[in-house]
Amino acid sequence: MLAPLQDYLYPENPRLSQLLSSTKICYSTQLSVYSYPGEPGFEEARWITSEDANIKRLLNVFASGDMISDDIWDMCADFMHHLYRHKPQLVVLGPMIEGLPDNHPSKPQCLFELSMLLGLVGNHAESKRLNCHSLKLCRERGSDLQIAQMLIYLSDANKRLGLNEEGILQVKEAFKICERLRHISGQTRSLKMLAWFLSREY
Q: Which of 118, 141, 164 is the last residue of a domain?
A: 141
| Structural domain that includes position 193 | 144-202
Q: Is residue 92 within 8 Å of 80, Cβ to Cβ?
A: no
User: So what's the pLDDT on residue 3?
Assistant: 45
Q: Is residue 160 within 8 Å of 124, Cβ to Cβ?
A: yes
The string of pLDDT tens digits covering residues 149-194 is 999 999 999 999 999 999 999 999 999 999 999 999 999 999 999 9
Alpha helices, DSSP H only, in 35-143? 48-64, 70-86, 94-99, 107-120, 124-141
Q: What are phi and psi of 83, to 5 degrees?
A: -60, -40
Indicate whether 91 and 183 sit together in one domain.
no
Can you tell me the distance from the alpha carbon of 56 to that of 67, in angstroms, rounded to the nearest whole number?
A: 16
**Is 14 within a domain?**
no
**Is 6 within a domain?**
no
Question: Secondary structure of the chain: what % helix, strand, coil (to 5)?
Answer: 70, 0, 30
SS (H, E, C) 84-112: HHHCCCCCCCHHHHHHCCCCCCCHHHHHH
**Is 5 within a domain?**
no
Q: Is residue 52 within 8 Å of 87, Cβ to Cβ?
A: yes
* pTM listed for this prediction: 0.76
Distances (CA, A) of 44 to 2, 41, 80, 142: 16, 5, 17, 35
User: So what's the pLDDT on residue 69?
Assistant: 67
For the chain, residues with pLDDT lower than 50 are 1-4, 7, 202
Indicate whether 66 and 84 sit together in one domain.
yes
Indicate whether 62 and 89 sit together in one domain.
yes
Indicate whether 153 and 119 sit together in one domain.
no
Q: Is residue 28 within 8 Å of 80, Cβ to Cβ?
A: no
Q: Which of 126, 141, 156 is the last residue of a domain?
A: 141
Cα torsion angle, 11, 14, 18, 20, sign:
positive
Can you tell me the distance from the alpha carbon of 192 to that of 187, in angstroms, rounded to the nearest whole number?
A: 9
User: So what's the pLDDT on residue 66?
Assistant: 59
